[in-house]
Structure 1
Amino acid sequence: MKNLVDHLSQYAAYHRDTRNIVSHFIGIPLIVIAVAVLLSRPGAVIGGVWLSPATLLALASTGFYLRLDMRFGVVMGALLGLSLWPGHMLAVQSTLVWLSSGVGLFVVGWAIQFVGHFYEGRKPAFVDDVSGLIVGPLFVVAEAAFLLGLRQPLKHAIEERVGPTGVRGKKALV
C-alpha cells in the first residue's frame, strides 16, 4: 500500500509548474464542491444530519486520508464536511438550480484545471492513475501547508523524488 509520500510524490510529478499548482487551488475546491452538490441528491435529514451519497463519499474519503496521515486526515475531513453544506443547500432547491449549480461548478473547475495543465505541458495525473482524483484535494492541502511553512520534511521528501516547483513548461500567454 502506498504511503503519504508515495501518493503525493506521484501526484506532484504532474504538478511542478507553480501556475498549474495555483490553478489547482481554485479548480479542485470547485470540483469538490460540485461533486458534493451533485451527490447530495437523493438525501434526507436523519437525526439532524443530511445523509446522502455525498455524505458517504466524504466519510469514505476521510477514512482514506486518515490512514495516510492523521493531521491531514483531520483537515481533509473538516474541509469535506464543509463542502457538504453547499451540497445540502443546493440539493433542496429546484432541480434546475441544483443541477445547473453542480454542473456549472464542475465544468468551471475542470476548465481551470486544464488551463493549469496547459502551462505544465503535461496531462492531469488521474489520466494515468485514477487515484489522482482522491489525491488531488490532499495535494492542495499539502501545498497550502508548505506555503505556510508547515510539514517541511514532507515537502523535502517529495522534492527529493520529483524536484522543486517553479515556472516551467509552456510560456505565459501575454
Structure 2
Amino acid sequence: MRKIDYLFTEYGESHQDSTNKTIHWICVPLIFFSIVGLIASIPSAPVQQFLGEGNVYAHWGTVLLIPVIIYYVTLSIPLSIGMMLFSAACLALVNVIIRLNVGPLWAVCIGIFVLAWIGQFYGHKIEGKKPSFLKDVQFLLIGPAWLMHFIYKKIGIPY
C-alpha cells in the first residue's frame, strides 16, 4: 500500500460522520488559508529582497508553501498539483484581503483560524473521535490532501 493511501485510510477512520465531513470541507481549507495568511503577515524584508521589491507574493507565506508542496510531491505528484493550485488560490486571496484593506491580514486570519478550529473540534465531538493530528502531527497536512483526493476521484483523476 502506498504511503498516501495508508495516510488517507488512517485519517478517514476519524472522519466517518457526514456532519463531521461537511464541517471539514469548510474548516480545513479555511485553516490552511488562515495559516498561509498569518505567516504572510510576518514582516518579510529578506524575502522581498530575494523575490523582488513590490512583488505581492514576496512574503513568508509563499516561502512556507515551498516545503509544504515538496511534502505533497513525496506523497503523490498528481495530488501535489492540486494542492499547488489550492495554495496559489490561498496566496491570491491573501492579496485580495490586503488590497481590500478590510483589516490587518493577521487579524482577519486569526479570526478565521479560531472559528475554523472551533468548527473542527465540534465536528470531532459529533464524530466521537479525537482529531487525527493528536496522534501524528503530519495529519495537519493530510487533511487538505484528503479533501483534494475526493475532488480527484469525483472528476476521475488518479492520484
State how 1:74-85 maps to structure 2 within 5 Å.
74-85=81-92
> What is the aligned partner in structure 2 of residue 55 from structure 1?
62
Q: Indicate which of 88, 98, 101 corresponds to 2:105.
A: 98
> What is the aligned partner in structure 1 of residue 136 from structure 2?
129
Whose helix proportion is higher, 1 or 2?
Answer: 2
Alpha-carbon distance, 1:89 to partner: 3.9
Structure 2 residue 52 is matched with structure 1 residue 46: yes
> Residue by residue, what CA displacement relative to the aligned partner does 1:1-49 show, whole Å, maximum 9, x if unpaired?
x711121112111111122111110001111111111111223362745
Alpha-carbon distance, 1:90 to partner: 3.8
Alpha-carbon distance, 1:149 to partner: 5.7
* Distance in 2 (alpha carbons) for counterparts of 1:27 and 1:118: 15
Alpha-carbon distance, 1:117 to partner: 0.8
| TM-score, with length taken from structure 1 | 0.76
Alpha-carbon distance, 1:114 to partner: 1.4
Q: Indicate which of 116, 119, 144 corresponds to 2:123.
A: 116
**Contact 2:56–2:95 under 8 Å retained in 1:** no
> Residue by residue, what CA displacement relative to the aligned partner does 1:83-136 show, whole Å, maximum 9, x if unpaired?
012223445787x52222011110111111112112210111001111111111
* Distance in 2 (alpha carbons) for counterparts of 1:57 and 1:136: 17
Question: Structure 2 stretches of 5 or more lacking a match?
Answer: none
Aligned length: 151
Structure 2 residue 37 is matched with structure 1 residue 37: yes
Question: Which residue identity is paired with 1:7?
Answer: L
| Identity within the alignment, % | 24
* Distance in 2 (alpha carbons) for counterparts of 1:151 and 1:8: 16
Question: Structure 1 stretches of 5 or more lacking a match?
Answer: 155-174
Alpha-carbon distance, 1:145 to partner: 2.9
Structure 2 residue 150 is matched with structure 1 residue 150: no
Question: Which residue identity is paired with 2:81?
Answer: V
| TM-score, with length taken from structure 2 | 0.82
Shift in CA distance, 145/119, structure 1 to aligned 2, threshold 3 Å: farther
> What is the aligned partner in structure 1 of residue 11 from structure 2?
11
CA RMSD of aligned residues (A): 2.5
> What is the aligned partner in structure 1 of residue 80 from structure 2?
73
Structure 1 residue ranges, 4+ long, deviating more than 6 angstroms after superposition: none
**Contact 1:28–1:136 under 8 Å retained in 2:** yes
Alpha-carbon distance, 1:53 to partner: 1.9
Structure 2 residue 138 is matched with structure 1 residue 138: no
* Distance in 2 (alpha carbons) for counterparts of 1:84 and 1:118: 31
